[in-house]
């Protein structure tokens, strides 16, 4: 299965007289260095989450720690 092709990239490339990128080429390779860096240096504010979402994320962290402990214990107990 081939990844979908971005139609805007194809249209921009044809408008400039360039060959459109193939499926195996990454469109970011056509950016100049300044364009790439400027997009990466824009600070983003933290996401605003509701109290329920924050509690859910904390529960998920605790769950991950418990399951990790269970996996480590099972691994160590099977070594004997």
Per-residue pLDDT tens digits for 8-27: 666 666 667 666 556 666 66
Q: Where are the domains of the chain?
A: 7-40, 49-80
Residue 72 has pLDDT above 60, yes or no: yes
User: What is the band of 4 on the pLDDT scale with cuts at 50, 70, 90?
Assistant: very low
> What pLDDT sits at residue 43?
79
Q: Is 13 exposed, middle or buried (0-12, 13-18, 19+ CB in 10 A)?
A: middle
- CA 49 from chain centre, in angstroms, equals 20
Per-residue pLDDT tens digits for 29-64: 676 666 666 666 677 888 899 999 999 999 999 999
Strand, coil or helix: what is 48?
A: coil
């Amino acid at each position: 299965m081939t990844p979908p092709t971005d139609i805007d990239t194809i249209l921009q490339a044809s408008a400039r007289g360039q060959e459109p990128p193939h499926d195996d080429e990454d469109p970011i390779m056509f950016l100049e260095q300044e364009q790439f860096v400027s997009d990466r240096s824009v600070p983003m504010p933290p996401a605003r989450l509701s109290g329920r979402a924050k509690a859910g994320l904390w529960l998920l962290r605790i769950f991950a720690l418990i399951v990790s402990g269970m996996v480590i214990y099972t691994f160590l107990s099977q070594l004997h």
